[in-house]
């Protein structure tokens, strides 16, 4: 009788009650280890990129936020009116320039509105370099209105064209 049970056990093969938990332990351990390694790898690259971008603004420079603009764009078809909603921030050299921009925010708003009123939606979104060109044009127009180079960079923080 004992020999029959031994033969029957050999014929049944592998005991799945022992093998299945071992496979699950290895699968879970591999998943956790892979996630840990991936998080370390991608986290280092992200922090380096954040450090590089944060290094572009010095301690003396200030970023001045300007309220949202809602502007009618120029249209080639008189039946179809398009709008742009834009929020910008201006990089200035120091606290004095920041105060000057905040004091004369109407000058900044007028300059931005005058530039964008002449643009069509295709001018803003048409080419890959259209946003950098728009930023430079806004910077030059604002500086021309001030009569000196007060704005070093224009950052577009929100842009919707409809």
Quick: pLDDT tens for 10-44.
666 667 788 888 999 999 998 998 888 888 877 75
Looking at residue 79, its pLDDT comes to 72
Looking at residue 68, its pLDDT comes to 93
Looking at residue 55, its pLDDT comes to 46
Closest CA to 115 of 133, 92, 89, 93: 133
Count of C-beta atoms within a 10 Å radius of residue 26: 10
Stretches where the chain sits below pLDDT 50 are 49-55
SS3 154: strand
pTM (two decimals)? 0.63
Domain residue ranges of the chain, discontinuous segments joined by +: 2-54, 62-161
**Contact partners, residue 106, CB within 8 Å, separation at least 6:** none
Tell me the CATH architecture of domain 62-161. 2-Layer Sandwich (3.30)
Looking at residue 12, its pLDDT comes to 62
């Amino acid at each position: 009788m004992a020999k029959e049970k031994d033969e029957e056990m050999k014929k049944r093969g592998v005991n799945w009650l022992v093998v299945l938990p071992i496979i699950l332990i290895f699968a879970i351990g591999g998943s956790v280890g892979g996630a840990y390694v991936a998080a370390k790898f991608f986290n280092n690259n992200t922090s380096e990129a954040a450090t590089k971008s944060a290094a572009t603004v010095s301690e003396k420079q200030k970023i001045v936020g300007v309220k949202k603009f809602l502007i009618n764009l120029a249209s080639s078809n008189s039946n179809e009116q398009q709008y742009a909603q834009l929020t910008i921030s201006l990089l200035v050299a120091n606290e004095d320039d920041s105060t000057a921009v905040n004091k004369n925010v109407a000058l900044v708003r007028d300059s931005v509105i005058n530039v964008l009123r002449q643009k069509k939606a295709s001018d803003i979104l048409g080419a890959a370099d259209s946003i950098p060109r728009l930023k430079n044009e806004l910077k030059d127009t604002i500086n021309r209105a001030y009569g000196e180079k007060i704005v070093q960079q224009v950052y577009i923080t929100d842009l919707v064209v409809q």
